[in-house]
Amino acid sequence: MSIISNISVGDISYFFVDQPPTHFAVKGCISIFDNFLYINNDGANTWIKILSPDNGSLNLSEYSTGVDFDAQTIGSWYPWNSVATYTLGNSVNFSRQTDVTFGDNLRYDGISTIRVLVRQTSTNRGGTGKWMTWLIGPAKNFTIPDKYNEFFVQDNSATQNVASLRVLELSTGDSVIASISPVDRENGGPGTQRTYLSKHSSLELIKIDESFSTNFFLEDWETGSFVTNNWNVVNPPDPSDPPLGIFNQWVVGSSTASTGFGSAYISTDNKIKNYEYDNTLTTIAHFYKDFEISATASSIILEFDWMASGENTAGNAVQYDYGAVVITDTTVTPVAGTEVSTVEATGTGNGRLAQDFAANDGKFNLGYGTNPGTTWNTERINISAYSGLTKRLVFTWVNDVSAGTDPPFSLDNIKIIETVW
Amino acid sequence: MATTNLISKSLGGVLLESGNGSPDHTSPRGSIYVDMDSASAYQNLDGATNWQLYNTVAYGIAYYQDNTTATTISAQDTWTLVSNNLTLQESMGVGVTGSSMGILSGYEGDYSVRGEVTISYVAGTNNYEVGLSIDGNNPGIGAYNGTQIDATFIRQHIGFDSIVSLTASTTLELAVRNITNTDDVIIRHAQLFIKKLT
């Protein structure tokens, strides 16, 4: 971290810095990094971030339509009330949305990834003469909450109130709902008696932290080549004698791009005009680069845009022509004709990477993503486990000697995104 | 406390200021004032004497779920610390040791504390109270609430809010007492959240 400049006001200084502040200063000094203010809290080097307010709430009161407890499965989670219209409280960067299945929810509309304190406070009333118990807790994106509290209602003469706290990380478009899970109900009696009312509820979200993300690395191929942009390329040998340059090889060119004009792709000629491959030539080709992965970021994402068709068996059970992305040690030198790894990278180990490895076995082609033969897909892979390590990222194209459909593998906007809280 | 030792420097149409105490002086709208005593920053809202305190980021949430171990009640009306271990999740400047929560050195200040627990039946019909213990002491006035459970109403919720001044040596724990009898109780679920205010 470096201090770019500073202004003194008596004993207090306002510092402009190029990283989150770590320097010693007088208590109360302000440091400005990116779009964040920090204030020195101890006269030493503890700096506390200053936040703008983001908050929102959904509220529902005096609801009077019963829910059939018998229609719910013990241990499953449900929206606290999926049919009512909630009232949106005063909100900054949050809005009320309605989901067909889950009902009203509170959506985060801000730009930065934030952490919010979420508090669900709910009152339920029991059915006729039958006791019931529930868990309640706020749910992010309609998934099961990991923090909840529990309450019991005897019958329709009783109401009980319960509250639960969670801290959630929210990115743009994430939603939160109030949710409920039946734990137990009294046996016997007509099922119609086992109803309850979701009577009152408040869902309150208050921002408590905001992250900043930086593109530690960005390769968009808008300028330069593999060589000038410090990538290493391992293409197969030219099969022709004398060499004609007509074989499957990695090139940087403008025949396709996710954004802008350039990308890296497999081409059948070294004039880089053709975004296609020859499926009669067996190919394993790579390009790679070494990265020192941050030791201080709380989240590290490898992101890239990709396109590929290739070849699979029916039902995608076996892949023949595909792309692969491998993380490995810097001592491993990729060789044309050989895959660097065919196993999944786990922990801090070497291997293939994918956002959903189970879905594609680390192979990028027509069997993965959304229409990847005609549409660019964006892959986001969490590589936080490699924090503090220097690793080699290898991008590979593989095709066998028969069949296969264009286009082959193309890559654009390769990013390593580091998030710091 | 009123502003003292005010020093101002002009930066375009606003002032960058420092002093001691909460701001009660007039400054141009948008001016920033730092209270050196509390390390708090304020921004002037109206060109008069109204100032908005900036939120600062120090917080932590600790919790456990589905505990089945009872807390032993040795005497009626006597507070007992809840010894179940807490797990710290998202945090900034906050730590957890065993069943206690606290702030790290350098993050001193005034904090909002919220607790939410579920208590679970062991025996009898009893009214229990659960609250915030600071440094092992009994919960103070306003820092606890209560409910009744019995063999039918086997689980109920208790929540509490409080604002406390914390130093790095301060410990925060849950405490429980039985104000009816001496039957034990299970603190089944618990969430304890703190956030720095100033």
Beta strand B32-35 pairing with B14-20: parallel
Determine the structural domain holding residue A333 and report its residue range: 214-420
**A17 and A112 part of one domain:** no
Contact A217, A416 (CB under 8 A): yes
Flag whether residue A344 sits within 8 Å of chain B, measured between CB atoms. no
Q: Out of B35, B39, B118, whose CB is closest to A40?
A: B39
To the nearest 10°, report the CA torsion of B102, B104, B109, B113: -30
Question: What CATH class does B59-196 carry?
Answer: mainly beta
What is the Cα–Cα distance from A50 to B196, expressed in whole angstroms? 11
What is the Cα–Cα distance from B36 to B56, expressed in whole angstroms? 15
- Cα A406–Cα A407–Cα A411 angle in degrees, nearest 5: 160
pLDDT at A24: 96
CB contacts < 8 A (A, B): 162
Residue that has been written with the tokens 């809840």 in this structure: B82
What is the Cα–Cα distance from A179 to A104, expressed in whole angstroms? 11
Contact A137, A78 (CB under 8 A): no
Q: Out of A12, A28, A160, whose CB is closest to B156?
A: A160
B57-77 pLDDT, tens digit each: 999 999 999 999 999 999 999
Structure tokens at A157: 């003469």
CA distances from A218 to A88, A223, A260, A339, A413 (A): 40, 12, 14, 25, 6
- 3-state class (DSSP) for residue A69: helix
Structure tokens at A54: 């983001």
Give me the half-sphere count of Cα atoms (radius 13 Å) on the Cβ side of residue A51: 26
> Which helix (H) or strand (E) is A51 found in, with range?
strand A47-51
pLDDT at A71: 86
Give me the half-sphere count of Cα atoms (radius 13 Å) on the Cβ side of residue B142: 5
First to last CA, chain A: 16
pLDDT at A227: 95
> Which helix (H) or strand (E) is A358 found in, with range?
helix A357-360
Among B51, B22, B103, B105, CA closest to A28: B22
**A242 and A198 part of one domain:** no
Q: Do A50 and B56 touch (CB under 8 A)?
A: yes
pLDDT at A144: 93
Structure tokens at B75: 């005497």
**A89 and A218 part of one domain:** no
CA distances from A363 to A251, A321, A323, B45, B160 (A): 20, 9, 6, 56, 52
pLDDT averaged per 10 residues, chain B (length 198): 85 88 92 90 90 89 96 97 96 96 94 95 97 96 92 90 94 97 97 92
Q: Which of B132, B156, B198 best tests the A interface by mutation, with the highest count of A CBs <10 A?
A: B156
CA distances from A355 to A133, A387, A417, B31 (A): 38, 18, 15, 47
Would you call A364 exposed, middle or buried from its count of C-beta atoms within 10 A (0-12, 13-18, 19+)?
buried
Flag whether residue B23 sits within 8 Å of chain A, measured between CB atoms. no
pLDDT at A188: 59
Structure tokens at B139: 């919960």
Q: Among A182, A210, A238, which residue terminates a domain?
A: A210
Predicted TM-score (pTM) of the model is 0.77
Q: Do B39 and A41 touch (CB under 8 A)?
A: yes
| Position A335, amino acid | V
CATH of the domain at A97: 2.60.120.40
Closest-CA distance, B33 to chain A, in angstroms, reads: 10
Contact B67, B84 (CB under 8 A): yes
Flag whether residue B156 sits within 8 Å of chain A, measured between CB atoms. yes
Residues 6+ positions from B12 with CB-CB distance below 8 Å: none
Residue ranges of the domains in chain B? Answer: 4-53, 59-196
Q: Which of B191, B194, B196 best tests the A interface by mutation, with the highest count of A CBs <10 A?
A: B191
Helices (H) then strands (E): counts for chain A? 1, 29
**Residue A146: count of CB within 10 angstroms of its CB:** 12
Q: Do B9 and A164 touch (CB under 8 A)?
A: no
**A253 and A106 part of one domain:** no
Q: Do A30 and B153 touch (CB under 8 A)?
A: no
Contact B181, B75 (CB under 8 A): no
Instruction: Kindly provide the b/e burial profile for residues A311-321, where b requires at least 16 CB atoms within 10 angstroms of the residue's own CB.
Output: bbeeeeeebbb
Q: What are phi and psi of B51, to 5 degrees?
A: -125, 145
Please list every residue in chain A whose beta carbon sits closer than 8 Å to the beta carbon of residue B107: 41-42, 46, 48
pLDDT in tens, chain A (421 residues): 899 989 998 888 999 998 889 999 999 999 988 778 899 999 999 999 988 778 899 999 998 888 888 888 989 999 999 999 999 998 989 999 999 999 999 999 988 889 999 999 999 888 776 788 889 999 999 999 989 998 888 776 678 889 999 999 998 899 999 999 988 877 656 666 678 888 899 999 999 999 887 778 999 999 999 999 999 999 999 988 888 888 999 999 999 999 999 999 999 987 777 899 999 999 999 999 999 998 888 789 999 999 999 999 988 889 999 999 999 999 999 999 999 999 999 999 999 999 999 988 999 999 999 999 999 999 999 999 999 999 999 999 999 998 999 999 999 999 999 888 8
Q: What's the number of domains chain A is made of?
A: 3
Structure tokens at A51: 């936040």
Q: Do B34 and A29 touch (CB under 8 A)?
A: yes
Residue that has been written with the tokens 């309450």 in this structure: A151
- Cα B117–Cα B122–Cα B127 angle in degrees, nearest 5: 60
Contact A311, A405 (CB under 8 A): yes
Q: Residue A186's closest chain B neighbor by CA?
A: B152
Flag whether residue B47 sits within 8 Å of chain A, measured between CB atoms. no
Closest-CA distance, B117 to chain A, in angstroms, reads: 7
Residues 6+ positions from B97 with CB-CB distance below 8 Å: none
CATH of the domain at A411: 2.60.120.200
Residue that has been written with the tokens 């409080």 in this structure: B162
